Amino acid sequence: MPIVIRIGGSVVASPTNPELLNQYANLLKELRKKGCKTITVVGGGSLAREFIKIGEQLGVDEKAQDWLAIHVSRLYALLFILMLGKNATKSVPTLVNEAVRALKEGKIVVMGGLKPGMTTDSVAAQIALETNAHLLVKATDQNGIYNKDPRKHKNAIKLDEITFQDLGQVLRQDYHKAGIHQVLDPVAAKMLQKSRIKTVVVNGYNPRNIQYAIEGKKIGTTIMA
Ligand code: UTP
């Protein structure tokens, strides 16, 4: 069963961190060698948000702003594909079934956004659903999920485990807005809860944390169905 890896743009792309991107590419190659099938969904980070802002200033509507961000995320996915060479798909999948097909061919799949009105978290959740993935690992700019927003509250406590139900209370149920930043998109969380896909949120600045989560080691926050 495949594993979905969701790399936050806030981690590898804010600003673009070539060394970290390279470490992730090496990790993906290692995982493939071990026979682990992966689909990685990468976000567009601060560059995507910059484009959203520019779009807004130029008067383009929110849907078009989303498209700008989607293209930036696909640009990062392309970087991965170029680093991975023949280990990966030839181009960035832009449809779910393209990603599923590439996975069946034994290729490493790396993609970005799919369509306006969603986040890359929801893309990852959808892909996890369609591929019967048993695990989704999200690499974030935090050590896991906290009982309150650690960027706003110094006394926030990191949780080792949380249920999807309790997570709903931790996440603010914002409506979708281009460029929104949350540890896990509530829409994605709902999809993952429904399909009972184990999700682990880890600190993405150390790509080994993804490996630890895959190996079942205690790392970050595990969200249980
Ligand atoms: P994300 O917020 O998912 O990317 O998408 P990120 O940079 O990885 O974010 P972090 O690190 O988790 O915070 C950025 C924006 O791209 C648009 C949305 O506007 C979203 O907020 N987007 C992305 C889409 O419209 N559709 C997609 O399928 C993906």
Q: Which residue has the higher pLDDT, 222 or 183?
A: 222
Q: Nearest CA to 3 among 199, 217, 218?
A: 199
In this model, does residue 180 exceed pLDDT 80? no
Which percentage of the chain shows pLDDT scores above 70? 96
How far does residue 145's CA lie from ligand 1's centre (Å)? Answer: 19
Q: Is 170 left (phi over 0), alpha (psi -120 to 50) or beta?
A: alpha
Mean pLDDT in residue range 163-189? 75
Query: What is the DSSP-derived secondary structure letter of residue 143?
Result: S
CA distance 185 to 70: 16
Query: pLDDT band at residue 176, thresholds of 50, 70 and 90?
Result: low
- Do residues 63 and 29 touch, judged by C-beta distance below 8 A? no
Of ligand 1's atoms, which has the minimum distance to the CA of residue 117?
25
For residue range 100-126, what is the model confidence (pLDDT) as tens digits? 999 999 999 999 999 999 999 999 999
183 lines ligand 1 (CB under 6 A): no
Residue 59, token pair as written in the block: 């008067």
How far does residue 219's CA lie from ligand 1's centre (Å)? Answer: 24
Could you tell me the pTM of the whole model?
A: 0.94
In this model, does residue 174 exceed pLDDT 80? no
Q: Tell me which fold the domain 3-224 belongs to.
A: Carbamate kinase (3.40.1160)
In this model, does residue 50 exceed pLDDT 90? yes
- 172-179 long-range contacts (CB < 8 A, ≥24 apart) are 176/117, 176/118, 176/119, 177/62, 178/52, 178/56, 178/62, 178/65, 178/66, 178/69, 179/48, 179/49, 179/52, 179/53, 179/65, 179/69
Q: What is the pLDDT of residue 182?
A: 73
- Do residues 81 and 46 touch, judged by C-beta distance below 8 A? no
Residue 26, token pair as written in the block: 């090496």
Mean pLDDT in residue range 193-220? 96
Which residue owns the Cα nearest ligand 1 atom 15?
Answer: 179
135 lines ligand 1 (CB under 6 A): no
10 lines ligand 1 (CB under 6 A): yes
Which residue owns the Cα nearest ligand 1 atom 19?
Answer: 178
Query: pLDDT band at residue 160, thresholds of 50, 70 and 90?
Result: very high
What's the Cα-to-Cα distance from 121 to each of 46, 185, 189, 199, rounded to whole Å?
A: 16, 6, 8, 11
- Do residues 218 and 211 touch, judged by C-beta distance below 8 A? no
Of ligand 1's atoms, which has the minimum distance to the CA of residue 45?
7
